[in-house]
Amino acid sequence: MTTFGRDAHGDGGNGRGGEGDGGGGLRRDVYDDVIVGGGHNGLVAAAYLARAGRSVLVLERLGHTGGAAVSTRPFAGVDARLSRYSYLVSLLPAKIVRDLGLDFAVRRRAVSSYTPAERGGRPGGLLVGADEGRTRESFARLTGSEREYDSWRAFYGTVRQVAGKVFPTLTEPLPTRAQLRDRIGDEEAWRMLFEEPLGRAVEEHFADDLVRGVVLTDGLIGTFADAHAPSLAQNRCFLYHVIGGGTGDWDVPVGGMGALTDALAGAARAAGAHIATGHEVLRIDTDGTGTEPAEVVFRTATGEGRVAARTVLVNASPRALAELLGQEPLSPPAEGAQLKVNMLLRRLPRLRDTSVDPREAFGGTFHIAEGYAELARAHAEAAAGELPSVPPSEIYCHSLTDPTILGPELVEQGYQTLTLFGLHTPARLFEKDNQGTREVLLTATLAQLDAHLAEPITDCLAFDADGRPCIEAKTPLDLERELRLPGGNIFHRELSWPYRDADAGDAGAFGTGRWGVETPYPNVLLCGAGAVRGGGVSGVPGHNAAMAALGR
């Protein structure tokens, strides 16, 4: 059994790159658990298993832990720590925070969303969530009556009831479809969310095109689908975006997303887990019975090594897991379909709609070109192989809710961060010329934002130490290259329903069984976003894989 030379602990996901602590290599020949990948789910699993008294080794390819849940300073010489890839928290159960004793907090955004719109030749918009009275008034001003607001309350009242029933099941053994249906106990809600395309419910409940679009967007974040897609991919995406915490609220992580993975890495180490960065796993060898330890082969800067494990937990995509096991590649991955843009501004831009303070408009989700018809047109154009002529997107200003991500001088001077998430931009559109297409799409996307501003957004950008504007954009192909997300898909594969279909014939699948993380190999588990009930920053697959490893 060869060993590696350093115990490179890394820096817990803050993006600076771990230097290691010179710990002297492997601590044993056989570990109870080896975790492949130090993203947030792998760290959750490591912390739970180590706290149960097991010997745990985490092997991470990069020089730091955290995966996509990291905080970095992307702009040279600028003291701004951005959640560079993932950026909001909804699906992380408070149970995991409590169980692991995490020093981690989130803050609620004061506003849910603002959607600019021009009606009657005058700029205006829909402001949701500032308070009930202002929200009702905003709906009435936009649509001419209170009917849409009443429908909004009724629709989301039903959704919230479903969320309250479904969310607690995410950290329980995987229910069957029938069990989850019985638990929800509302046949109309089940039909609306689980059986019929989301577009039907949206059209049944709402008449206004803009309101319809705002509702639909939760079904399209990172998912390339039409409102009426028979696959119901949009329904599954919608469900995961509205069940978080049992309420559907989306919160800002205090200190940025890296604060979460810092806390997780600290909890894992404090419990005795051994974290080694700069160790790329190449292969997993298992006899397929689980009676003998599996062997994990890895590569470092100085050569190859191997370590044995009674259980291997893989915090990577199902496609990557198949490759590590030497299997034939799975079918082509479900491609990602998003543009991620990070910006630092010297000040928030002024709005054409002067009835809303920019701090309110950007304090929640700022929807751009996301009317119902606009979303349908953008999807149809992208499906035909063309960039959307009016690219839809939405913006979040995290520094309004959590100014700690900015240095004190930047806060004093009024600097703010903006994160833009573009929809309906599948990976296929970038295959011929990723860089050129990225630039064209970024220009078109910012132009749609500018249409609602009283000044160009580029006039508000800060500059880094080298005089470059503080803006960066990531396509699905960029995410595939940087984070090894298959097809740039932020969920690793298409999102699954949060239940097990007893009639689906799960034999041979990755991410099934009692906890939704099992594989055909008894001593190999899937603990990444591609597990059943994976996707998003939740820690749920890590928790569930740990429970499966512990035989619970």
Q: What is the DSSP string of 202-270?
A: HHHH---HHHHHHHHGGGTTT----TT-TT-HHHHHHHHHH-GGGTT--EEETT-HHHHHHHHHHHHHH
530-550 exposure pattern, b = at least 16 Cβ within 10 A, e = fewer: bbbbbbbbbbbbbbbbbbbbe
Please give the structure tokens belonging to residue 232: 């119901």
Which has the closest alpha carbon to 326: 280, 295, 279, 282?
282
Which has the closest alpha carbon to 259: 11, 539, 14?
14
Looking at residue 25, its pLDDT comes to 58
Residue given tokens 């060898």 in the structure block: 285
Residue 498 half-sphere exposure toward CB, CA atoms < 13 A: 33
Please give the structure tokens belonging to residue 171: 């950290």
| Separation in Å, CA 69 to CA 66, 217, 298 | 5, 22, 23
Q: How far apart are CA 539 and CA 47, in angstroms?
A: 11
Please give the structure tokens belonging to residue 460: 């508000």
Cβ of 239: how many Cβ atoms within 10 Å? 23
Looking at residue 512, its pLDDT comes to 80
Residues 6+ apart with CB under 8 A from 181: 190, 194
Catalogue the long-range contacts made by 175-179 (C-beta closer than 8 Å, 24 or more residues apart): 175/498, 175/499, 175/500, 176/499, 176/500, 176/501, 176/502, 177/497, 177/499, 177/500, 177/501, 177/502, 178/502, 179/499
Local structure of residue 351 (DSSP, 8 states): B
Q: How far apart are CA 538 and CA 544, in angstroms?
A: 11
Which has the closest alpha carbon to 181: 168, 170, 190, 193?
190
Q: How far apart are CA 249 and CA 245, in angstroms?
A: 7
Which has the closest alpha carbon to 490: 317, 296, 313, 299?
317
Q: How far apart are CA 478 and CA 485, in angstroms?
A: 9
Query: For the chain, what is the radius of gyration of the CA atoms?
Result: 23
- Cβ(437)–Cβ(387) below 8 Å: yes
Looking at residue 24, its pLDDT comes to 40
Q: Where are the beta strands (DSSP E) in 347-433?
A: 365-368, 393-396, 416-422
- Cβ(316)–Cβ(484) below 8 Å: yes
Please give the structure tokens belonging to residue 394: 């939405």
Please give the structure tokens belonging to residue 529: 């976003």
Instruction: Report the amino acid identity of residue 253.
Output: P
Give the pLDDT of the chain (552 residues) as one tens digit per residue: 333 322 333 333 343 333 333 234 556 679 999 999 999 999 999 999 999 999 999 999 999 999 999 999 999 999 999 999 998 899 999 999 999 999 999 999 989 999 999 888 899 999 998 789 999 999 999 999 999 999 999 999 999 999 999 999 999 999 999 999 999 999 999 999 999 999 999 999 999 999 999 999 999 999 999 999 999 999 999 999 999 999 988 899 999 999 999 999 999 999 999 999 999 999 999 998 888 999 999 999 999 999 999 999 999 999 999 999 998 876 777 899 999 999 999 999 999 999 999 999 999 999 999 999 999 999 999 999 999 999 999 999 999 999 999 999 999 999 999 999 999 999 999 999 999 999 999 999 999 999 999 999 999 999 999 999 999 999 999 999 999 999 999 999 999 999 987 544 443 477 789 999 999 999 999 999 999 999 899 999 999 999 999 999
- Report the alpha-carbon angle 147-153-155, nearest 5: 100
Q: How far apart are CA 389 and CA 202, in angstroms?
A: 24
First to last CA, the chain: 31
Which has the closest alpha carbon to 389: 408, 374, 368?
374
